[in-house]
Amino acid sequence: MKPSSALSLAAVVHLVASQGTPFLQSDLTTTTTPSATISSTSTAPPLGPSPTSWDALGCYDPLTRSPDDNILEQNMNPDGDSSLTIPKCQNACYRAAYKFAGVHQGNQCWCSDIVGGERARNQNDCNVPCAGDKSTSCGGTEAFDVFIAVTNSDPTRTKVPLRIVVTNRPELHIRLGFREMLNGTYQDLVLHEVLRITIEHDIRLFLEHELSAIQKERRLALDWPATQQILALVELAVPLFIYAATVCRYVGTKGGDPKEYLNKVLQYPKAAFSQLDRTYLPVLDQLLGEQEERDREDWLQVFRGLVGSIVILESPLSIGSLARLLQVSRKQVKRRLDALHSVLSIPNGGLVPIRILHLSFREFLIDPQKQGKSPFWVDEKSTHIKLASRCLKLMSSQSGLRQDMCSLVDPGVLRSEINNGTVASSLPPKL
């Protein structure tokens, strides 16, 4: 009998966490268990150009002159716009649900959810007239005029029903806060109290859906995967959704053979491997096995240096910032990470940071008990020392720290008087 097609609330919580949302990630080995709450229907205004105000952040320069290092992520008109004005660009960005708008070279509109680069030392670098309004400037030949959207609430807007999923550890102040809410406004669920049969049902449903999508996309035989393979995966996964999610990402790896990859996953039985080993070893063993025997030690050294830095860093960095910190090329970082989409969130945009999909991957790599046993083991202390050394070198470089980083030209200004946006935009992520 096939399971019903409805996911339980527990599955929703586990699934969201396993798909790489950083603030929902939890420690797989922890003894405390998160609870989940679905709130009642609330309202939220739809995105639109009005009523919205825009604050000017100033003129920004890219970190380098490389075409890959733009201030903003999305060029809305690569061929230019002969009637471009600042309001026109702002409206285009807000309709597309972007937080930042920027104008460049007089006729280009760029949008983004994050700002790269830094405020130009000379704000007059933005001196190219707008193509559609010669009385105002639209960036410069290299620089951008950047604006941030400030949304004002409007009770006349259309109401959109929402249900919000909140996950948390069972801290006392959180539990007491929910108890003060009216009865019927939220549904509470303690994940460790969910019955095993419910977890098995949810994981099987998830696996069948994801593997079916892979079967259709790759045009595999209709009887793939076999029912026995699904059941074996469910047994290996319970009670962790992160295992099922990682397996599906791995089996669906671009350029790989789903049949072969699925068979390899099933070669890591419960009796011989821990839950974390069963989750991550198939992915990493596959990558290591693809290397020539003479190249494997070099590959492992690069892996520990690159991926080890990603899991150790306090704040995640974009590909460009990570490359500058580690003093390697962007192409090398991209090439090394390209096969790790099953365990890392690797964005296409140059400004979005690389993140681990689940904290358990970090635990797997730095576990002290794996020293001398796992070729993928990352020496946490040694990696911290290397990163600290590179950080000091970067801060001391010509493009590093300098006097008056925020270009305030006023040494008497208190930190509390400086806008947080100015600080964030003046200190690049790499610093």
Mean pLDDT within 367-387: 94
Query: Looking at 106-120, 145-159, 290-304, 377-391, which range is the least confident one?
Result: 145-159
Question: CA-to-CA distance for 390 and 325, rounded, in angstroms?
Answer: 6
Per the document, the length of the chain is 431
DSSP for 141-206, written as a single string: SS-EEEEEEEEPP-TTSPP--B--EEEE---HHHHHHHHTSPTTSEEEEEGGGS-HHHHHHHHHHH
Residue 372 reports pLDDT greater than 70: yes
Question: CA-to-CA distance for 229 and 234, rounded, in angstroms?
Answer: 9
Question: CA-to-CA distance for 113 and 111, rounded, in angstroms?
Answer: 7
113: CB partners within 8 A, 6+ apart: 73, 98, 99, 100, 352
Burial class (CB in 10 A: 0-12, 13-18, 19+), 197: exposed
Residue 22 reports pLDDT greater than 60: no
Residue 5 reports pLDDT greater than 70: no
72: CB partners within 8 A, 6+ apart: 100, 101, 102, 110, 111, 112, 115, 116, 144, 146, 351
Residue 312 reports pLDDT greater than 90: yes
Q: Is 101 helix (H, G, I), strand (E, B) or coil?
A: strand
Burial class (CB in 10 A: 0-12, 13-18, 19+), 147: buried
To 5 degrees, how large is the angle CA 158–CA 164–CA 168? Answer: 155
pLDDT at 32: 42
Name the most confidently modeled range: 56-65, 218-227, 324-333: 218-227
- CA distances 259 to 223, 226, 233, 253, 265, Å, are 12, 11, 14, 11, 10
DSSP category for residue 106: T
Burial class (CB in 10 A: 0-12, 13-18, 19+), 26: buried
Residue 24 reports pLDDT greater than 50: no
pLDDT at 281: 94
Residue 107 reports pLDDT greater than 70: yes
State the chain's mean pLDDT as an integer.
Answer: 82
pLDDT at 228: 95
Query: Looking at 145-154, 227-236, 328-337, which range is the least confident one?
Result: 145-154
Question: CA-to-CA distance for 49 and 67, rounded, in angstroms?
Answer: 30
Residue ranges of domains in the chain: 9-40+169-267, 52-151, 289-396
Percentage of residues of the chain with pLDDT beyond 70: 82
Which amino acid makes up residue 6? A
Query: Looking at 56-70, 191-205, 330-344, which range is the least confident one?
Result: 56-70
CATH class of 289-396: mainly alpha
Question: CA-to-CA distance for 11 and 390, rounded, in angstroms?
Answer: 42
Q: Is 112 helix (H, G, I), strand (E, B) or coil?
A: strand
Q: Is there a contact between 344 and 356 (Cβ–Cβ < 8 Å)?
A: yes
Mean pLDDT within 154-182: 74
pLDDT at 17: 54
Question: CA-to-CA distance for 215 and 222, rounded, in angstroms?
Answer: 7
Residue 300 reports pLDDT greater than 80: yes
DSSP for 253-289, written as a single string: -TTS-HHHHHHHHTTS-TTTS-HHHHHHHHHHHHHHH
